[in-house]
A = this chain, B = another copy of it.
């Protein structure tokens, strides 16, 4: 099973693809989609969608995962993040790829063992777990971390461990 993790943002959107095969999670690809701050918003969102759709065609993921948004952020940030998420989710929906949401704590815990891990620690552990020669840039590392976390949950679920909890957490579009 191939999993596409995405870390949405209007200026930089990270993505990362991993493959789960039995108990192993292996690296496939990662990248960062950047859009010029000077361009009109509709062009930037269209560019994010176009690049993400190209990555979907190239890496053919079976499912995708994005970090759940904590709505304690301020309304302006929620709007800006929501717009990037909307463009990304629509591209995934158009491609028929089901999307799961995971809380930041679950993602960090899956890759570092600690739910409150620092950004750098996530980058280092992602590189170690996927045998990369160096830590990926932050947005792509967060995206790979989400994909790893989703892959591990799938493995646990397949083994019958914590299945009920996993199912509830993975309901697409469910409110926290």
Interface residues of A, Cβ cutoff 8 Å to B? 40-50, 69, 71-94, 97-99, 172-173
Assembly CA distance A40 to B92 (angstroms): 11
- Nearest residue in B to A95 (C-beta to C-beta)? B46
By the criterion CB–CB under 8 Å, are B75 and A42 in contact?
no
Question: Cβ of B40 and Cβ of A90 under 8 Å apart?
Answer: no
CA distance A140 to B23 in the complex (A): 52
Dominant secondary structure at the A interface: helix
Q: How far is the CA of A40 from the CA of B85 in the complex (A)?
A: 14
Which 10 A-B residue pairings sit nearest by Cβ, starting from the closest?
A82-B82, A86-B86, A46-B93, A42-B93, A83-B86, A41-B173, A45-B90, A87-B90, A78-B78, A40-B172
- The CB with the most chain B CB atoms within 10 A, among A69, A91, A93, is that of A93
Q: How many copies does the complex hold?
A: 2
**One of B44, B79, B99 near A71 (C-beta < 8 A):** B79
User: Whole-angstrom distance between the alpha carbons of A108 and B92 in the complex?
Assistant: 36
Known: A40-B173, A41-B172, A71-B75. A46 touches B82 (CB 8 A): no
Q: Which residues of B contact A74 (CB under 8 A)?
A: 71, 75
B173:A98 contact, CB within 8 angstroms: no
The smallest C-beta distance from A47 to any residue of chain B, in angstroms, reads 8
A68 to chain B, nearest CB (A): 11
Q: Are A93 and B173 within 8 A (Cβ)?
A: no
- B99 engages A40 (CB within 8 Å): yes
**Chain B contacts for A83, CB-based, 8 A:** 82-83, 85-86, 89
Residues on B with beta carbons closer than 8 Å to the beta carbon of A48: 90
